[in-house]
Structures are given as C-alpha cells and as structure tokens.
Chains A and B, each alone.
Chain A
Amino acid sequence: DVKVTQSSRYLVKRTGEKVFLECVQDMDHENMFWYRQDPGLGLRLIYFSYDVKMKEKGDIPEGYSVSREKKERFSLILESASTNQTSMYLCASSLWTSGAGNNEQFFGPGTRLTVL
C-alpha cells in the first residue's frame, strides 16, 4: 500500500514563528504536492515538485516555501506564520507520467495547523 505520512496531525503556532511541515512517502514517487484545504474553497495547490531539488509554484505559493532534498521527503515551510495560514495542510504524491494516465495522487492524513 502507498503510504504518505505527515509529521504532525495537529499543530499550534504563534504569529511570526517559522513552521516546518514534513511529508514522507514510501512508494518511490517522483511527484509530491502540498495543498491546503479550507471550507468552501476546496483543495488549493501551494507547491509541487517532480524531482529532487525541483519545485514549482502552485496556485497560492505566497507566504510559503518548500524543500525537496530527498526523493521521499517534501517539506513545506511557513517562514513567518500568520493567522490566515490557519488551515488543513495536505501532502500528496504520485508517479511521474508522460501525461497519459489518471495521475492519481495519494494523500497523507493532513496536518491541522492553527496560528494564534
């Protein structure tokens, strides 16, 4: 079974703190993604990576950065957390494709981050 794990299920941080969210997958997937989920807004893509040390901005990258030093690990960094970054953060991974196929993504359990 594909397994995507996230370092914390619940996290509470203060405004201005630097926050690290870690994601690890064990299926040797090339692609990894970070989303945030907010009520009424669905899943919004923050950043994604299709190879080690590669990263691409998603739809809402402002206030975030990412790091992918190893194939299995993709980190999301909030340089200076703000209250509007309170959200559910979801990590996902998928196989690289040539464009064909359903590009199924496998999700981790999520991290509920609260910024006070």
Chain B
Amino acid sequence: DQQVKQNSPSLSVQEGRISILNCDYTNSMFDYFLWYKKYPAEGPTFLISISSIKDKNEDGRFTVFLNKSAKHLSLHIVPSQPGDSAVYFCAASVIYGGSQGNLIFGKGTKLSVKP
C-alpha cells in the first residue's frame, strides 16, 4: 500500500506561470517531508524540505506547504522556468527500527515547463 502518493504523473506549465505539484500521504507518524528533483540520467537532488510542525517553508522560487489535517503537501514553483523541467519526487521521513530514518518516495511527477 502506497504511503506517499503523487497522483499526477505529469504536469505541463507555461514559462513564468506557477507550477503546483501535489503529494498525499497516509501515515501520520511522518515527521519530515522532502522534495527531490531528478533530471534524466542523473541522480535525484534535494530541493526543499518541511518539518511536520510547520505549515510552510520557502526557498527562493520554491515553497512547500503542508496541511497535516488533510495529509497533503504541495510544492509551488514561481515563476516556472524551462530548466525546472524534471521529475519531482515527494518523500517522507520515517523512523525505522526505533532510531533509523528512511525515506519513502512517491512515484514522481514529470514537470514540463514550456517556453
């Protein structure tokens, strides 16, 4: 059963507009959420994270919002640029074995930003 879900496999946005990528989760014990960006033939790179005790975290053009009651988070990119075209993975941090933290990843959303 998927604990982290990204229901949109793809998203297409015009350059300069806002991109909104969504992620839902089922486990209320997740304590941190992360977004990764992945270009083809490269490994994922960390983009931004948010603690479960916050509802917003901002870093330049990237903002992540967390709605704990809805078990939903979203990544906003404003303004979108063609270089943002990539696959975006949502991940949740979970304690394993009492003291170890693993990440559980969603299936990803492919963002295409058109010039």
Contact = CB atoms under 8 A, between A and B. Distances in A.
Interface string B3-43: 00010010000000000000000000001101010000111
Interface residues of A, number: 32
Given A31-B100, A48-B102, A42 B43 contact: no
B45 interface: yes
Nearest to A103: B101
B105 A43 contact: yes
Interface string B65-106: 000000000000000000000000100010111111111011
Given A43-B89, A102-B49, A90 B43 contact: yes
B107 interface: yes
B49 A42 contact: no
Contacts of B46: 104-106
B100 A96 contact: yes
Nearest to A58: B102
Contacts of B45: 107
Interface stretch (A14-22, A71-79, A108-116): A108-116
Contacts of A108: 43
Given A90-B43, A90-B44, A100-B31, A40 B107 contact: yes
B44 A41 contact: no
B12 to A, nearest CB: 18
A40 B2 CA distance: 13
Given A40-B107, A42-B89, A99 B101 contact: yes
Contacts of A101: 32, 93, 101
A102 B96 CA distance: 13
A43 B6 CA distance: 12
